[in-house]
Chain A
Amino acid sequence: MPTSVPVSWYLILSAILFGLGVAGFIYRRNIITVFMSIELMLNAVNLTFITFSYTLKQVDGHIFSFFVMVVAAAEAAVGLAIILTVFKNRETLMIDDVSSMKY
């Protein structure tokens, strides 16, 4: 059992999580699950920031990750308000049924 973990494994884990987030974003039809896939992608990006911050021995990556968290919080508040409004007007959560801006 090696005592240290290569840095690339953290980046690969981040890539896997980001790919899963993209897959969920494309595959899911429930608007809340789509939103949670976006959160998963943001988390994967945060892991990349922290990993490079470790590699470069700088704290700047932590600051960027902190800003990503703040933006995610703001995005969650506004996005869930939009979801509430859509549900109030359309009585549905499926994104296929909310396509009036498509055409």
Chain B
Amino acid sequence: MTALIFFLFASIAVFCGISLVTQTHPIASALSLIGVMGSLAILYLQLGGEFIAAAQVIVYAGAIMVLFVFVIMLLNAGAEGTSLQMSNFAKYAGIFVLAAFLGLISFVIQAMLPKTEGVVFGAFQGGTALNIGRKLFTTYLLPFEVTSVLILIAILGAMVLARREI
């Protein structure tokens, strides 16, 4: 069952990722990215990260993608023209090189990773909100506070950049 769910959602993620890169219209790319994020949330759940899965759906697929779709709608972004001058040879060579690179990476991962037991759903249950909150407010308290300052700077920066010229 774990393998079945992994294959289903991994193939959805890869399909949506390819769709993100190959679609010409930005809104189609945004919907593909939402598909990738949703299937990754299922995989996080499988790996025992229930808090991160919820945060993935709420923060990424909810907030960030709404912002993206909002900007695409606001700017009325149409389909991408063929401004990129690229020969057929470069395109196919690029796909081949990417596939070869990923194959090499896969081989290295398979060869280098020490033998561990496989992933079974429910084997690791440390990713609850309780555990993460406890760790976040004790061991990682300083990074947490620095992150809040970063968010504050981002809010101010976004307001300054997007304001109407005085």
Contact = CB atoms under 8 A, between A and B. Distances in A.
Interface of A: 1-13, 15-17, 19-21, 23-24, 27-30, 32-33, 35-37, 39-40, 43, 46-47, 50-51, 53-55, 57-60, 62-63, 65-67, 69-78, 80-85, 87, 93-94, 96
Contacts of A10: 6, 43, 47, 119
Given A9-B6, A59-B135, 15 more contacts: A4-B117, A15-B105, A29-B83, A32-B72, A40-B17, A43-B37, A47-B40, A53-B49, A53-B127, A57-B124, A57-B126, A58-B126, A63-B135, A66-B55, A77-B155
B2 to A, nearest CB: 6
Contacts of A27: 21, 84, 94
Given A15-B105, A30-B26, A77-B67, A67 B80 contact: no
A53 B6 CA distance: 17
A17 B14 contact: yes
B93 interface: no
B88 interface: no
Chain A interface mostly? helix
Contacts, number: 225
The residue in B47, B101, B153, B159 that gathers the most chain A C-beta atoms within 10 A of its C-beta is B47
Contact of B127 (A29, A62, A96): A62
B4 A1 contact: yes
Given A20-B21, A69-B59, A4 B119 contact: yes
A23 B80 contact: no
Interface of B: 1-4, 6, 10, 13-14, 17-18, 20-21, 26, 29-30, 33, 36-37, 40, 43-44, 47-49, 51-52, 55-56, 59-60, 63-64, 67-68, 71-72, 74-75, 77, 80-81, 83-84, 94, 98, 101-102, 105-106, 109-110, 113, 116-120, 123-124, 126-127, 131-132, 135-136, 140, 143, 147, 150-151, 153-155, 157-159, 161-162
